[in-house]
Amino acid sequence: MKFTAFQIAELIGATIEGNPDTEIKSFCRIEEGIPGALSFLANPKYTQYIYQTRASAVIVSDDFVPEEKLTTTLIRTKNPYAAIAQLMAIYEEMMKPKKIGISEKAHIDPTAQIGKDVYIAEFVSVGEGAVIGDCAQLYPHTVIGDRGAVGEKSVLYAGVKVYRDCKIGKECIIHAGVVIGADGFGFAPQDGQYLKVPQIGNVIIEDYVEIGANTCIDRATIGSTIIHSHVKLDNLIQVAHNVELGEGTACAAQVGISGSTKIGKKGIIAGQVGITGHLHIGDNVIIGAQSGVMTNIEDKQIVLGSPAIPVSEEKKLIIYRKKLPDLYKQVRELWKKYQEDE
């Protein structure tokens, strides 16, 4: 499938600088540019590659000013990263096969409600009283437990497990191996042993959520673990019982959130962050990679380190820690001199 640079600019409301008839057949990274491909420049670290790229066209920001001669056609827009994401979504929608139909090898309980134009693959299991919305897609070995629900146009890839009573909203993407609604880690010490606390709540995942591969979201002890709309979770994340993730919050890989913690809207939680239980994290909070969060965080804070503290303070500590070996050496020499003087 071919497009011209002019057609692409029309789709994203951009302007052309160069040949509007340049043909585009695919996408490429700017440092690996190939003829007939479209690339983009959003990160200044990659500016050097635009002068040598073989990509036929490159999406750049409106304020980009080249310092050398270019051989590629420029497509100028306000936000290159958002523009390329929009184009790739259109391309994917046009190219990916439309999957519709229910496999004879799927098990669907007679009491389940199945919407129109669904795709239910081989070895899928849909439990008693479950509801599958219109145009939903369930890939092989997916399990929807009793009274579970999957909203319209949601996609559950291979091996997703949705336990009983758990709900998934519309247009969600749940990647392979995700487990939604397993028991929370609840045990009461008794006579030197641990007594299991029944987990009788559920998980509610609202609309437009994406969850990466092998992430686990535990059911609530009582009530609901809630993932609000537009949340984005990376691979290998653990969300414990009764956690609430606010609308539009994004978490990178290997984040662990302990039970009953509430996280506000539009936060950013970087990779390998650990958050203890029963905390309140405000709106628009940014938590740096590998931080250990042990106290509440107010709105619009940026924190880093373990224990997590404001990023300006942590940067100072990083500088001080680098100086510790020299400081130790100086103190040791002073102590040695002191002992000799005695």
Active site residues: 241
DSSP secondary structure of 191-250: TTEEEEPP---EEEE-TT-EE-TT-EEEPPSSSEEEE-TT-EE-SS-EE-TT-EE-TT-E
DSSP 83: H
Provide the 3-class DSSP secondary structure of residue 217: strand
Q: Show Cβ contacts of residue 152 under 8 Å, excluding neighbours closer than 6 positions.
A: 115, 133, 134, 135, 136, 170, 171
For β-strands 256-257 and 125-126, DSSP reports them as: unpaired
State phi, psi for 140 to the nearest 5 degrees. Answer: -50, 145
Q: Which strands, in side-by-side order, build the sheet including 73-77?
A: 15-17, 73-77, 57-61, 37-40, 26-27
Task: Enumerate the β-bridge partners of residue 202.
Answer: 224
CA–CA separation, 74 vs 149, rounded Å?
A: 46
Does residue 155 contact residue 135 with C-beta atoms inside 8 Å? no
Does residue 154 contact residue 170 with C-beta atoms inside 8 Å? yes
Does residue 129 contact residue 112 with C-beta atoms inside 8 Å? yes
Does residue 145 contact residue 181 with C-beta atoms inside 8 Å? yes
Looking from the CA of 315 toward its CB, the CA atoms found within 13 Å total 6
The neighbour count for residue 206, using CB atoms within 10 Å, is: 19
